[in-house]
Amino acid sequence: MWAVGSLLPRSSCAAAPAIERPNILVIVSDDQGYADLGFQGCQDIPTPHLDRLARSGIRFSNGYVTHPFCSPTRAALLTGRYQQRFGHENNPFYDPNSHLEGLPVSEKLLPQFLQEAGYATGWIGKWHLGAAPEFQPQNRGFTETFGFLGGGHHYLNWQAETNATAREYNIPIERNGQPVAVTNHLTLAFGDEGAAFIRRHQAGPWFLYLAFNAPHTPEEPTPERLARFASIANPKRRAYAAQVSLLDDAVGQVLAALPASGQAERTLVFFFSDNGGPIMVNGWNGSSNLPLRGGKGEVFEGGIRVPFVMSWPGTLAAGRTYDLPVSSLDVFPTALNLAGRAMPTNHPPDGVNLLPFLTGANTNTPHSALFWRVGGGKQFAVRALDAKLIRRLPSSPALFDLAADQGEAHDLSARRTNEVHQLINAIEGWNQMLVPPVFPGLAGRAGKSPAATKLLVEP
């Protein structure tokens, strides 16, 4: 069916037409379930602001991230490359003195390219790409920064901690590298900051990476918001719903700043979750990935297929659903194309510029194949058209037809052996381009203490 070479990643990055360079807003939620938004069919958690964003643009029914947990996905987003190409395959352990645990400085990030193109650049929220000075956002292309450097944080009433694993969730919120006092619920504080950034830069162009930690654990909604969901019987789901509702309000505040400042039609907005919701008994945050199988940490669809929206009023048609697979890898080349920047040749992106596919200028599929690797090779997956092969050691490969079986309930590997062989060859060819993990991360600390093991699941 496929030649291996035809499935390996290649970029589609034709130059943009001469148009005014738009602002670029990338909003990422954290551990949000595939089913947990109104535009995804959710019934018990109202999300009016994110639903409005979806109606204003394009909802991707097959939108993917590159990894089933937090930090590797973020590394791929900001580099435009599969994170295993440069060894960022684990969640870094929070250690401001470690010059290993972070996104390798050999990689040039999207904000650095956009800064060179004259964009104002801002990061707000969760970083989780290294805590030592060289890894911090203000040294990776972001001129304005506000947030925390670790993989998670309390939303209310945090305080100084000396225990290494507890400290990560209690570190100070920093503005441009300096600690600041935050009295509001952290999710709403991030919304305030996002709206303020937009108002400050009305002249544009600007790039804002707004990375919420909601609805990631711990469950700490405001009492008022929790009371709104008293009808939800399960306490985990109730607290999660309240967290998602706060997230929706914060996003709504950010999005409202665009038309209020006259910037709606010159701002391209992306929204997606960093991975699927965790559904493990001990790690469940109350999310749902239905009808998908699996969740965070797994290469089943529930771990890697996420709510995904792209909106640009006046340029992209509103109210559409796009069914071909797309990836968070595509943000990087789309943004560089719009900024008028040439694609890097030393580290070419693995994503594609989505605009020709969405405007109809290119009627092909954006990706002949998408790949995943977890744990240095403990799990692999490839999706080629509607066929998806999963290889999780020590189990045998499993093959699914996602067009007929998005819940991955029916393994077709015994009936379609030639396809299995071709897709295994494709994975092996892709894997030869990758390197082993370059830092042990949180996984390397697991077993050393109960707290480290617990955090391995949480972030």
416 is written with which tokens?
């379609």
User: What is d(CA 74, CA 176) in angstroms, rounded to the nearest whole number?
Assistant: 20
Residue 346: burial class (beta carbons within 10 Å; 0-12, 13-18, 19+): exposed
CB atoms within 10 A of CB 59: 23
- Selecting from 3.30.1120.10, 3.40.50.300, 3.60.21.10, 3.40.605.10, what CATH number does the domain 377-431 have? 3.30.1120.10
pLDDT digits (tens, 9 = 90+) for 166-212: 789 999 999 999 999 999 999 999 999 999 999 999 998 999 999 99
Q: Residue 451: which pLDDT band, with cuts at 50, 70 and 90?
A: very low
Class of domain 21-368: alpha beta
Cα dihedral 230/302/130/134 (nearest 10): -120
pLDDT digits (tens, 9 = 90+) for 148-172: 999 999 999 888 766 666 789 999 9
Residue whose token pair is 């990758």: 434
Give the list of residues 6+ apart from residue 317 with CB closer than 8 angstroms, or none.
58
Q: What is the pLDDT, as a whole number, of residue 18? A: 36
Task: State if pTM tops 0.85.
Answer: yes
Strand-pairing partners, residue 124, are: 146, 210
The domains of the chain are located at 21-368, 377-431
Any idea which residues carry the catalytic annotation? 70, 128
Q: What is the pLDDT, as a whole number, of residue 9? A: 62
Name which of 87, 54, 118 is nearest 338 in CA terms: 118
Average pLDDT, the chain: 92
- What are the residue ranges of helices labelled H in 329-433? 331-338, 355-359, 417-431
Give the list of residues 6+ apart from residue 360 with CB closer than 8 angstroms, or none.
none
Give the rounded distance of the alpha carbon of 161 from its chain centre: 28
Among 12-26, 30-44, 173-187, the range scoring the smallest mean pLDDT is 12-26
Q: In the predicted model, what is the mean pLDDT of residues 366-391? A: 97
Q: What is the pLDDT, as a whole number, of residue 116? A: 96
